[in-house]
Structure 1
């Protein structure tokens, strides 16, 4: 795949930051019974996903930035589609979009946080393929 080997691939597809093969989460972010639960380690390369206790607490800051990006994107899309929303209507639209995308924002934020600390290892990825 074209993006494979880049941090963007790992983040968008919620894959292991080191091998890009294993799943990063226990389940889909929208499966609320396992909401936002990161696996202990990669099922393919055995990378331990948590460096220290409360490792993913820092992803809250990333989540804030991603949430702002989603809110700005909602506003820009309302302008592109020429939706004549009042300020209250625009506020409600942004809040609804943020609520609907909350599981995705939380998952992507944890994936971004992990990708800051772990790097892709091409050799490990090739061993898994063979």
Structure 2
């Protein structure tokens, strides 16, 4: 499932979508909030320029919106229907879930967005 060459591997690990040998981010830990969006300019292994065009990652906002809606719906269903909490508690759980997942969603949305445009190339690993 997370073998090299799969989109899911690149999305969850934050590696270069073309060669999957190097992290796209300067700091691999998404919980270091000061460095959460700092990315390398290019992949040192295959040379892929991560910023495919000016303001490329603005499109990741739409992916982030979808991920946040999914997390919010999952949090609501879990708290309201499974744990039978009230509406106020369910909405507090939604807000807490969104705050806790914020750094991960921010990175995942960028990873998903770039993987929509760049595919894995096994030839880049035969250097």
Aligned pair count reads 126
Q: Relative to 1, partners in 2 of residues 1:84 and 1:32: Cα closer, same or farther, differing over 3 Å?
A: same
Q: CA deviation at 1:41?
A: 1.1
When the two chains are superposed, the root-mean-square deviation of aligned CA atoms in Å is 1.7
Task: Find the aligned partners of 2:4 and 2:77 in 1 and give their Cα distance.
Answer: 30
Structure 2 counterparts to residues 1-130 of structure 1, below 5 A:
2-27=2-27, 28-78=29-79, 82-127=82-127
Task: Find the aligned partners of 2:77 and 2:24 in 1 and give their Cα distance.
Answer: 31
**CA offsets 1:80-129 (integer angstroms, 9 cap, x no match):** 7x3121111000001011011111101000001100111100111243xx
Specify every segment of 5 or more residues in structure 2 that has no aligned partner in the other structure, as ranges.
none
Task: Find the aligned partners of 2:61 and 2:118 in 1 and give their Cα distance.
Answer: 18
Mean CA deviation greater in 38-47 or 58-67: 38-47
Task: Find the aligned partners of 1:104 and 1:51 in 2 and give their Cα distance.
Answer: 22
Task: Find the aligned partners of 1:76 and 1:3 in 2 and give their Cα distance.
Answer: 32
TM-score (norm 1): 0.88
The question of whether the paired residues in 2 share the 8 Å contact of 1:23 and 1:43 is answered with no
Q: CA deviation at 1:79?
A: 5.7
Q: Which runs of 4+ in 1 moved over 4 A?
A: none
Task: Find the aligned partners of 1:60 and 1:67 in 2 and give their Cα distance.
Answer: 10
Task: Find the aligned partners of 2:63 and 2:126 in 1 and give their Cα distance.
Answer: 30
TM-score (norm 2): 0.90
Specify every segment of 5 or more residues in structure 1 that has no aligned partner in the other structure, as ranges.
none
